Chain A
Amino acid sequence: MKTYIDFKTVAVNDDIVLSLEEAGKTVDAIKRGEKISRIVMTILTYIFILALALLVVFPFYWMIITSLKQNDEIRATVQTFFPNIVMWSNYVHVLQVFDFTIYMRNTIIVAIFSTIGTLLTTIFAAFAFARLRFKGRDGVFAIFLMTMMIPGEMMVISNYITVASFGWIGEGQTIIQAYAAMIVPFWTSVFYIYLLRQNFKQIPNELYLAAKVDGKSDWSFLWRVMVPLAAPTLISITILKFMGTWNSYVWPNLVTNESSFRLISNGLRGSSFVDVDSGNVEYGYQMAATVLVTVPLFLLFVFFRKYIMRGVGRAGIKG
């Protein structure tokens, strides 16, 4: 099949195509093959990713459409992927049965106060660790880091006893005591201190010395220079803390007496959406309630995506 050209006998004006071959394939064929395999690879990658993305999104989709279905349709043997009749009334009913506003109020109050406390303690501690020099600093920091390894379950038992000894739980608990029991133990987070300290450390020494030269105190340097420079990290901490409160279930369940003191997750799991006549769970109502609980988190994510992803990602290894 191969043809050989004797260049001496070929006239210059003839068209000659030189072609290299490997394993019986010309360069063009190899290039074309590579291109095709690259395209096939890309398509396969997209199929893989899109299929998994569908699986990731599916529970959300199912939650929303179930919340808009009639109960008969939910329990039907043939499942529909879009509600036959869109039942907005599910939401109306849920807002009457499920004390969404009370749980929402509790959650927001607890989130705000525990966030403020955490931010203050974190800023002070991170400043001391990053900027000041004093005896025992490194030792304390090492102890703090070690506590990150300890599972929180170790602390829950004794914290429960501690909070009880403060008189915050037990018979005749008031709502303020319930709030205190849910807020105070979470006023500090070693992880956030570590995060902010790393951030403070990146602020150049020269700024601190310049402020010293200008006669600024440590206090005003902290609030005028360091805190504004570390604002992105502080925003991340605030949002993660809010999300944490929104998702907290175990502790509020333990330390509160009445369901009206509890947070949104407790309210969701604690409310029964059972139909009185049949004894079945009314999934339509239940899913409408989960939508109400999930949507605020999604809104937070839409607006603060950058801060959330950076805050979570910062947990990764750096340096």
Chain B
Amino acid sequence: MRKISELFKKRQPAPAQQSASETLYLETRPEIKEGYHEDENVIVRLVSPRKKDEKPYQVHGIEDVVAKNNWKGWLYLAPVVILVAVFLIYPLINTIFIAFTDNYQYATGKFDGLTFKNFTYILGLTTKSNGARETYFTQYAIPNTFILVFVTVPISTALALLISVALNSIKWFQKILQTIFFLPYVTNAIAVGMVFSVIFDDSGVINFLFGTNTTWIYGADRWTAMIPLVIYIVWSSIPFKILIFLSGLQGIDKQYYQAAQIDSTPKWKVLLKITVPLLSPQLLYIMITSFIGAFKEYTSIVGLFNGPGTMAKAGDPNMETIVYYIYDNLNNNTSAAAAAAVFLFVIILIFTAFQFWASKRRVHY
């Protein structure tokens, strides 16, 4: 008990009544507050006077106590650090390494020296030692990937933006419609791809509704088959964008729109001059994620075509993308697959860096 009163004496320069009795001391208690005192870096906890021999609970220097826990922090991190090292960092480095090895055998880990030839091989510039020449990568994989990226991303972003603005402006059924537009997100990509291939079947509902007789999927021409593929990708990529845009729209101050209304600004101008600039952080985010996503298109093609091509010609992978090429060559031509993966990685890095650079002036936070 004495210790407590000593503590209080230090803080209370006038201990006139202090010596009188314990009850008196308790009345002056509010002078010191329980809890953490930031300025002095002290935790004070008042202990009931009924308990005997109780020391006032003090911890000095919170920072120091935490700093001693160096090992503890690493202990908590250990599982993740191990997993990330084994399944993320090491593979990254190893894949780059494999891309520069000749004839890597994944089962044994053997290879015939280091080379740059994998890159020239996939680009069709050189042949392999056995004379094989790769044509599919430049003929199909690269163009298909770029077409999908530059067609689906702008279409789906613009469409998602329009839908979000419209959804944000309506009063009735807003929640239900919002849920409906989110539905494509909670589906199995393979399953819905198969549904689209039924819809676009020769005797399917699209040909019936439009009175056409086009072959869209199996045995289709490469450019015709792009149409259902693009529609499917746009359909499945819209929900995420709407969700992000809507949360952004709900954060915009209504005053901007009221000001625009007073000036009787036309609707399209409000959209272009107020909504889009104020949504620019969300737009940047959507652009970056959807460009990266579109570069990695794979399951949609498996779902729709059940293979890398439309089977117009047997063994001709005319719908192949870069990622499809990687998976196709993983087993038998690991070096080429790794080279293609590095190629994709570099392209995505350049793209993302470019988008950040381009957005510097245009994005308003």
Using a CB–CB distance below 8 Å, which chain A residues touch chain B?
41-42, 45-46, 48-50, 52-53, 55-60, 62-63, 66, 74-79, 120-122, 124-125, 127-129, 132-137, 140, 143-144, 147, 149-162, 164-165, 170, 184-185, 187-188, 190, 193, 206, 209-210, 212-213, 218, 243, 246-247, 249-250, 254, 264-265, 268-269, 283, 286-287, 290, 293-294, 297-298, 300-301, 305, 308-309, 312-313, 315-317
Contacts and interface: CB of A to CB of B under 8 A. Distances in A.
A185 B70 CA distance: 27
Contacts of A45: 166, 169-170
B188 A293 contact: yes
Contacts of B86: 162
Contacts of B334: 157
Interface string B60-98: 001100110111111011011101101111111011001
B73 A147 contact: no
B72 A188 contact: no
B83 A188 contact: yes
Contact of B84 (A49, A136, A157, A190): A190
A264 B51 CA distance: 64
Interface string B174-191: 000101111111111111
B242 to A, nearest CB: 10
Given A48-B166, A56-B235, A283-B198, 15 more contacts: A60-B195, A124-B77, A124-B80, A132-B76, A153-B323, A153-B341, A154-B92, A154-B344, A155-B88, A156-B341, A206-B35, A210-B35, A250-B298, A250-B327, A300-B186
Interface residues of B, number: 103
A151 B295 contact: yes
Interface stretch (B11-19, B299-307, B309-317): B299-307
A78 B205 CA distance: 9
Contacts of A153: 296, 323, 326, 341, 344
B327 A155 contact: no
B92 A128 contact: no
Given A247-B188, A300-B186, A124 B76 contact: yes
B287 interface: no
A53 B240 contact: no
Interface centre among B71, B87, B107 (most CB of A within 10 A): B87
A161 B88 CA distance: 13
Given A133-B73, A134-B70, A158-B91, A301 B190 contact: no
Given A132-B76, A160-B330, A297-B186, A154 B194 contact: no
B81 A140 contact: yes
Contacts of A206: 35-36
22 contacts: A45-B169, A50-B177, A62-B199, A79-B208, A124-B77, A129-B77, A134-B69, A153-B326, A153-B344, A154-B91, A154-B92, A155-B95, A156-B341, A157-B341, A162-B91, A165-B109, A185-B87, A187-B79, A188-B80, A209-B43, A287-B195, A317-B282
Contacts of B240: 312
Interface of B: 35-36, 43, 45, 57, 59, 62-63, 66-67, 69-74, 76-77, 79-81, 83-84, 86-92, 94-95, 98, 106-107, 109, 159, 162-163, 166-167, 169-170, 177, 179-192, 194-196, 198-199, 201, 203-205, 208-209, 235, 238, 240, 243-244, 247-248, 267, 281-282, 285, 289, 292, 295-296, 298-299, 302-303, 306, 323, 326-327, 330, 334, 337-338, 341-342, 344-345, 348-349, 352
B168 to A, nearest CB: 10
Contact of B198 (A62, A144, A300, A301): A62
Contact of B188 (A125, A151, A283, A294): A294
Main secondary structure of the interface of B (DSSP, over half): helix
Contacts of B181: 52-53, 56
B67 to A, nearest CB: 6
A85 to B, nearest CB: 18
A133 B66 contact: yes
Contact of B195 (A62, A149, A265): A62
A249 B189 contact: yes
B76 A157 contact: no
Contacts of B205: 62, 79
A155 B87 contact: yes
A258 B190 CA distance: 19
Interface centre among A56, A153, A218 (most CB of B within 10 A): A153
Contacts of A57: 180, 183
A206 B34 CA distance: 12
B323 A249 contact: no
A269 B84 CA distance: 31
B73 A132 contact: yes
Given A45-B166, A125-B80, A128-B77, A290 B344 contact: no
Given A56-B184, A79-B208, A151 B345 contact: yes
B83 A187 contact: yes
Contacts of A76: 203
Contact of B94 (A120, A122, A161, A286): A161
Contact of B69 (A132, A143, A150): A132
B106 A188 contact: no
A46 B70 CA distance: 59
A162 B163 contact: no
